[in-house]
C-alpha cells in the first residue's frame, strides 16, 4: 500500500519517496507531447505540488476532465525536481475523483473581494482565503497557548443570555414566538418565559468564574445588532475575554500588551509561509509593522491627554473633538499611526460614555477603562478594572437605569469576598486583520454576517 501524503508533507520531504499517494484539486494543467503537468493543491499549504503524468499511465484517458477545480488522486514517486521546487510527483497512475466543468467560477486568478464574498463557499480554495483560514486556526491555537501558559482557565460562558453587558441595547433577540403574530404581547409564553438575547459579551459571567478560579478567559462567538456598515464591524464575531481576580487596571494593561506581542511572535515564527504571502500580496508593510509593534513598548496615554493631543493636532476630523466624546476610528488611528507611531493604550475614559461595570475613579467623572489601539486597525482591545465596591456599583447601575434584580447574581460578587478585578475583550477578527493586513472584516470571517447579509 502506498503512503498517503499531504501536499505540505510532500513539499517538505527529507528525501525522495517512492510509492506515495496525493489527493487534491487541480490548480492548473498543461499538456505537452507525451505527458501533462499538473499543479495540485489540497489546502495543507500555500504552495502546490507539481506532478507529471505520462501519456498511457492508468487513468490518463480521463486527463481532459482534470481541469481547474477538479478533484484527483495520484499515485507515484516523489522525486527531485529540475524546476523551482525541490520535489515533484512522477505519477504512475491518476484517477479523477470529481470533475469541474467550465462553469467553475475560480478559473482565472485575480478576482475582486466583492465577487469572492458572493461565492464564500468556494473562496477558501483561493491562495488568499486558504492562507487566511489557516492563519485563523493557528492564531486561535496561539490564543489558547498564551492563556494556558499563564495559568488561566478557559470557561465557556453562555451564548443565550438575559442581560445586556455593554448596556448598548444592540442585542439580537432569541425567541420561539412568531414575530408576525399580533397575539404575542408578552414573553410569558416564550421559551424562557422572559426576554432573551444572543450575548454581546461573556464578561459578566466570566467575572463570576474569575471570582472563584482567579484567572479565566472566554473565547467564543459574540453577536451585535449594531447597524454599522464598516470594514471593522460584524454582527457575529469572536471575542477573547480574559478576567483576572486580584488585578487592577495596570495589571490588565500588562497582560494585554504581553498577549498581543505573544501572538505576533508566534505568527512570525510558526506561520512563515502564509505571513510572507500576506506581506507580498496584501500589505507590503505588514512584516515591518508587526516587528515594530513587537519591539516597541506600548504608549500609555490617559483619555484627557489624548483629547488634548487631538485638539492640538491641527487636523480636521469628520467628528469634532471635545472632552466627553467617544473616540472615533479616525481619532484612534491618528493617535496610533501619526502621533505616537506605536500602539497606544488609552485609559480613564469619561464615565458617561462607558458601561456600568467599570470602576469609578476618585475624580468622580472618569472610569478605569482602557482601549488598546494599534496601527492599521484602531481599537483592537477594550477592557477595564471592574467596580468592586457594592455601594458604588449599585449607584452607577441606578444612574444608567439598570434594575438591581436583573443583575442580583452579579451584585452578589460584591457582597461575598469582593476583590479588585479586571479584564478585557479582544476582537478575534480584528486580531486576524492586524496579523494579515487584510483590510475588511468580511474577508477574515468564513461566513460574514453584516446588516442585510446572512447568506450561506
Residues that bind ligand 4AD (CB under 6 A): 165-166, 201, 203, 224, 226, 233-234, 237, 239, 241, 379-384, 423-427, 429-430, 441
Pick the closer one to ligand 4AD by CB: 26 or 335. 335
The one of Mg ion, ligand 4AD, none whose footprint includes residue 367, by CB under 5 to 8 A per kind, is none
> In the bound complex, what is the minimum distance in angstroms from residue 307's beta carbon to Mg ion?
17
* Distance between CA atoms of residues 357 and 310, nearest Å: 27
Candidates 2-10, 59-67, 296-304, 382-390: pick the segment binding Mg ion (CB under 5 A). Answer: 382-390
Pick the closer one to ligand 4AD by CB: 88 or 429. 429
Record the cell numbers describing residue 300, joined without a space. Answer: 500609555
Q: Contact, 381 vs 373, CB < 8 A?
A: no
Pick the closer one to ligand 4AD by CB: 68 or 231. 231
Helix axes 249-270, 127-149, angle to 10 degrees: 130
- Please report where in the chains the cell 486576524 appears, as a residue: 432
Pick the closer one to Mg ion by CB: 375 or 382. 382
> In the bound complex, what is the minimum distance in angstroms from residue 209's beta carbon to ligand 4AD?
12
> In the bound complex, what is the minimum distance in angstroms from residue 221's beta carbon to ligand 4AD?
11
Q: Is the dihedral of CA 375, 376, 378, 384 positive or negative?
A: negative
Pairing of strands 3-5, 17-32: parallel
* Under rule CB under 5 A, residue 382 binds Mg ion: yes
> In the bound complex, what is the minimum distance in angstroms from residue 251's beta carbon to ligand 4AD?
14
> In the bound complex, what is the minimum distance in angstroms from residue 58's beta carbon to ligand 4AD?
51
Pick the closer one to ligand 4AD by CB: 51 or 301. 301
* Distance between CA atoms of residues 444 and 431, nearest Å: 10
Pick the closer one to Mg ion by CB: 267 or 369. 369
The one of ligand 4AD, Mg ion, none whose footprint includes residue 241, by CB under 5 to 8 A per kind, is ligand 4AD
x/- mask, Mg ion, residues 122-151, rule CB under 5 A, reads ------------------------------
Candidates 104-112, 316-324, 346-354, 377-385: pick the segment binding Mg ion (CB under 5 A). Answer: 377-385
Pick the closer one to Mg ion by CB: 382 or 420. 382
> In the bound complex, what is the minimum distance in angstroms from residue 381's beta carbon to Mg ion?
8
Pick the closer one to Mg ion by CB: 88 or 332. 332
Pick the closer one to ligand 4AD by CB: 48 or 135. 135
Q: Contact, 37 vs 52, CB < 8 A?
A: yes
DSSP three-state, residue 121? coil
Candidates 122-130, 241-249, 308-316, 375-383: pick the segment binding Mg ion (CB under 5 A). Answer: 375-383
Q: How many CB atoms lie within 10 A of CB 24?
A: 23
Record the cell numbers describing residue 362, joined without a space. Answer: 476618585
Q: Contact, 359 vs 414, CB < 8 A?
A: no
* Distance between CA atoms of residues 275 and 293, nearest Å: 16
DSSP three-state, residue 362? coil
List the one residue out of 238, 227, 242, 245 whose CA is nearest residue 159. Answer: 238
* Distance between CA atoms of residues 346 and 383, nearest Å: 10
> In the bound complex, what is the minimum distance in angstroms from residue 436's beta carbon to ligand 4AD?
15
> In the bound complex, what is the minimum distance in angstroms from residue 305's beta carbon to ligand 4AD?
20
Phi, psi of 147 (to 5 degrees): -70, -40
* Under rule CB under 5 A, residue 378 binds Mg ion: no
* Distance between CA atoms of residues 113 and 376, nearest Å: 19
DSSP three-state, residue 361? coil
Helix axes 408-415, 203-213, angle to 10 degrees: 30
Interface with Mg ion (CB under 5 A): 382
Amino acid at each position: 500500500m502506498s503512503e498517503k501524503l499531504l501536499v505540505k508533507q510532500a513539499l517538505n520531504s527529507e528525501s525522495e519517496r517512492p510509492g506515495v499517494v496525493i489527493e487534491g484539486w487541480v490548480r492548473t494543467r498543461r499538456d505537452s507531447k507525451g505527458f501533462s503537468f499538473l499543479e495540485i493543491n489540497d489546502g495543507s499549504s500555500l504552495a502546490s505540488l507539481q506532478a507529471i503524468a505520462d501519456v498511457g499511465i492508468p487513468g490518463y484517458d480521463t486527463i481532459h476532465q482534470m481541469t481547474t477545480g477538479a478533484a484527483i488522486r495520484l499515485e507515484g514517486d516523489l522525486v527531485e525536481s529540475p524546476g523551482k521546487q525541490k520535489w515533484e510527483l512522477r505519477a504512475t497512475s491518476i484517477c479523477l475523483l470529481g470533475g469541474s466543468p467550465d462553469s467553475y467560477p475560480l478559473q482565472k486568478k485575480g478576482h475582486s473581494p466583492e465577487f469572492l464574498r458572493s461565492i464564500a463557499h468556494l473562496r477558501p480554495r483561493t491562495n488568499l482565503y486558504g492562507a487566511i483560514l489557516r492563519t485563523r486556526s493557528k492564531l486561535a491555537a496561539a490564543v489558547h497557548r498564551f492563556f494556558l501558559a499563564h495559568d488561566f482557565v478557559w470557561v465557556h460562558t453562555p451564548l443565550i443570555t438575559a442581560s445586556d453587558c455593554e448596556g448598548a441595547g444592540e442585542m439580537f433577540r432569541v425567541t420561539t414566538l412568531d414575530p408576525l403574530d399580533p397575539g404575542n404581547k408578552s414573553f410569558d409564553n416564550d421559551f424562557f418565559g422572559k426576554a432573551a438575547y444572543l450575548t454581546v459579551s461573556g464578561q459578566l459571567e466570566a467575572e463570576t468564574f474569575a471570582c472563584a478560579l482567579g484567572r479565566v478567559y472566554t473565547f467564543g462567538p459574540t453577536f451585535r445588532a449594531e447597524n454599522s456598515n464598516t470594514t471593522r464591524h460584524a454582527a457575529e464575531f469572536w471575542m477573547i475575554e480574559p478576567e483576572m481576580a486580584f488585578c487592577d487596571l495596570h495589571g490588565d494593561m500588562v497582560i494585554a500588551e504581553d498577549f498581543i506581542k505573544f501572538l505576533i511572535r508566534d505568527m512570525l515564527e510558526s506561520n512563515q509561509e502564509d505571513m510572507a504571502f500576506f506581506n507580498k500580496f496584501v500589505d507590503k508593510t505588514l512584516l515591518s509593522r508587526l516587528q515594530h509593534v513587537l519591539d516597541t513598548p506600548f504608549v500609555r496615554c490617559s483619555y484627557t491627554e489624548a483629547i488634548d493631543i487631538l485638539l492640538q493636532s491641527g487636523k480636521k476630523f469628520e467628528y469634532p473633538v471635545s472632552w466627553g466624546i467617544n473616540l472615533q476610528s479616525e481619532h484612534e488611528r491618528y493617535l496610533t499611526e501619526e502621533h505616537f507611531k506605536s500602539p497606544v493604550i488609552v485609559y480613564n475614559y469619561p464615565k458617561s460614555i462607558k458601561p456600568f461595570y467599570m470602576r469609578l475613579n476618585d475624580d468622580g467623572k472618569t472610569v478605569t477603562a482602557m482601549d488598546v489601539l494599534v496601527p492599521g486597525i484602531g481599537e483592537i482591545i477594550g477592557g477595564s478594572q471592574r467596580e468592586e465596591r457594592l455601594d458604588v456599583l449599585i449607584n452607577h447601575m441606578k444612574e444608567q437605569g439598570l434594575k438591581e434584580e436583573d443583575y442580583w447574581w452579579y451584585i452578589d460578587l460584591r457582597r461575598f469576598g469582593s476583590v479588585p478585578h479586571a479584564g478585557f475583550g479582544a476582537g478575534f477578527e480584528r486580531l486576524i486583520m492586524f496579523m494579515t493586513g487584510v483590510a475588511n472584516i468580511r474577508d477574515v470571517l468564513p461566513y460574514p454576517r453584516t446588516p442585510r447579509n446572512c447568506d450561506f
